[in-house]
Chains A and B, each alone.
Chain A
Amino acid sequence: MDERRHRYKQIEHTADAGIQVFGATLGELFENAAFGLFDIIGDLERVEAGLERAVSVTATDLEALLVAWLSELNFLFQTEREIYNEFRVTRIDQAELSAVVGGEKLDLSRHEIYTEVKAVTYHQLYVKQTAAGWEAQVIFDL
């Protein structure tokens, strides 16, 4: 897996977990954030590609768009029982995102799931442009 595409680090938080994410472009930032979310949920090494799903979300601003995107993926994980490790943003602007995500159906005999993410929070949330590209932070309620 291309390292550059998954630049993020987990943030230490006493009760929950968060990620700080980087990307050269906005699309890459959102892809990396999604990877960070699923890396917290389970062991992605054992997820095989195969299944693809188109996802699109809208919001009023970039930060809300990030929350909407990650919430949508968590919702799909919980209701469709699908786990993803590939994320390709095909279109993104301030208020709208379209993407194709890849992964497979959850199989508890094969996939190790670490934790449930209750929600993607607005707490200490930011999305900002930096000299190197884009940076964001998001905290999950576990």
Chain B
Amino acid sequence: MEHSTIKLRKVQDYLWEIPREGKMRVPARIYATADMIDAIRSDNAPVQAANVAHLPGIVNYSLAMPDIHWGYGFPIGGVAAFDLNNGVISPGGVGYDINCGVRLLASKLSRHDIAPKIKNLVDALFAHVPTGVGSKSSLRLSDEVVRRAITGGAAWAVKQGYGSQEDLEYIEENGCFEGGDPAVVSKRAYERGRSQLGTLGSGNHFLEVGYVSEIFDQEAARVLGLELDQVTVIIHCGSRGFGHQICDDYLSVMNRAVQKYGIELPDRQLCCAPIESPEGQEYLRAMRCAVNYAFANRQIITAWARQAFEEALGMGSTKIGLRVVYEVAHNIAKIETHSVDGKKMKLCVHRKGATRAFAPGAAEIPAAYRSIGQPVLIPGDMGRYSYVLVGSQVAMEQTFGSTCHGAGRAMSRHKAKKTARGRAIVRELEDRGIYVKASSRRTIDEEISEAYKDVASVVDACQLAGISKKVAQLKPLGCIKG
């Protein structure tokens, strides 16, 4: 389908629909404000949302969140749920960076406590946490140890001395996705994964020190233990080469499966297999290993961040008090129970650049937060702000309990570099009180604020549509990147 032929009609405020046509099995629906929809329309992403609607067993709608943009096969910001009986699972619906996600830590410190030492702190973080391409973790893992990490996830990391048992309570799936099978992971994935556990990677991944700059919902903030000026840390990264390789491996498997099961596709990158088929089940087991790799990765990085804080600030861990507020996955497929036409149904929910946003009361939410809904962490660009939201009942009813995941790029990397040319971006940020350190200057130029959409508008669109609710805004003080 060409994007010029895409029909987008308004269903209600903040919700647009591409009606069913051709071989689409369901309509596609996009959450966005009227201001956003023209930019979305000019991208290929709505075509991709319509393409996803062709997949067998898709339930209700092919959905897209307000940060929708062009991806591979599935759009980024895409959510699609499939019936376990006749639906499919697609590695492209999860993405290459399986369990790319965000962890938020909150400290007992105020931003005034660390302001004079921010440079030392960022330098210490940079020294402890490997960033950038070709960076090697200080960990050297045998395949046997990798096997334990990819079945145990963050829980395995805690057993190795990275962080505490309490951390696990505030991670999706408690940091360990059951059902991973190391036997269905290729030798190549092990080879890529061996030296990258405990690394941030490059591109848009980062570790940011910031503070709570605004509170929108006092009660939810109180429950999450967030208060104004409190120092926070955001960790954004995923399953590194290990997950990329698993996605790659299973795209080949699914390319063959598509022929075997006679699945007709509008785009090769959407390749998939029936969930209950051997190929589908095998991908799910491999994907869960990558999910655990990413959980372990963020847990190890957390432990190193805590060390860096102690060293740079010359304070003990109790005084700093860096605890895990929550951690979300935004590239994942999960088997969940949702209400469809008034009936409970088990579905395979794909979220690719979308975050789970369960309503208050859901059993999957840590007991301490159950009254306010699941925390949702939305990182912005390195110069502006990030958000903490909570899930809602509207999300449960309309989006299989899902919301947005970030800002999304507005400029290509090339254009960003051109925009940054002749400017000293690090200096500009420093003048605004943000100290950034990266492995390559080019990364900083490519990641300038202007290259991203304003995450505030994405978050506002989600709030207006009712699929999540704003709790707090966080502003950066310092950041390390690839």
Q: Which residues of A contact B (CB under 8 A)?
A: 10, 12-15, 17, 41-42, 64, 71, 75, 78-79, 81, 106, 108, 112-116, 118-123, 125, 139, 141-142
Contacts and interface: CB of A to CB of B under 8 A. Distances in A.
Contact of B248 (A15, A71, A115, A123): A71
Given A17-B413, A78-B241, A141-B96, A41 B43 contact: no
B268 A125 contact: yes
A118 B100 CA distance: 12
Contacts of B76: 15
A74 B53 CA distance: 33
5 contacts: A14-B43, A81-B134, A113-B134, A119-B248, A121-B269
Interface stretch (B107-115, B158-166, B275-283, B404-412): B404-412
B188 interface: yes
A119 B247 contact: yes
Interface of B: 43, 69-73, 76, 96-97, 132-135, 188, 191-192, 195, 201-203, 241, 244-245, 247-248, 251-252, 255, 267-269, 271, 408-415, 439-440, 442-443, 446, 482
Pick from A14, A106, A119, A122 the residue with the most CB of B within 10 Å. Answer: A14
Nearest to B188: A75
B96 A119 contact: yes
A83 to B, nearest CB: 9
A28 B233 CA distance: 48
Contacts, number: 94
B244 A14 contact: no
A12 B412 contact: yes
Contacts of B440: 112-114
Contacts of B195: 79
A127 B310 CA distance: 54
A42 B195 CA distance: 20
B248 to A, nearest CB: 5
A139 B72 CA distance: 9
B402 to A, nearest CB: 20
Contacts of A125: 268
A109 B69 CA distance: 36
Contacts of A119: 96, 244, 247-248
Given A113-B440, A125-B268, A13 B188 contact: no
Nearest to A121: B72
A81 B248 CA distance: 20
A38 to B, nearest CB: 12
Contacts of B133: 41-42, 113-116
A113 B439 CA distance: 9
Given A118-B96, A119-B247, 16 more contacts: A14-B70, A15-B76, A15-B408, A17-B412, A17-B413, A17-B414, A108-B135, A113-B133, A113-B134, A113-B439, A115-B203, A116-B482, A118-B241, A118-B244, A122-B269, A141-B72
A122 B252 CA distance: 10
A78 B195 CA distance: 10
A120 B135 CA distance: 21
Contacts of A113: 132-134, 439-440
A79 B191 contact: yes
A14 B45 CA distance: 11
B458 to A, nearest CB: 15
B97 A118 contact: yes
A108 B244 CA distance: 23
A28 to B, nearest CB: 25
A12 B414 contact: yes
B76 to A, nearest CB: 7
B199 to A, nearest CB: 10
B202 A115 contact: yes
A89 to B, nearest CB: 22
Contacts of A15: 69-71, 76, 408-409
Contacts of B203: 115-116, 142
Listed from nearest, the 9 A-B pairs whose CB atoms lie closest are A123-B72, A116-B133, A113-B133, A116-B202, A118-B244, A119-B96, A118-B96, A123-B269, A79-B191
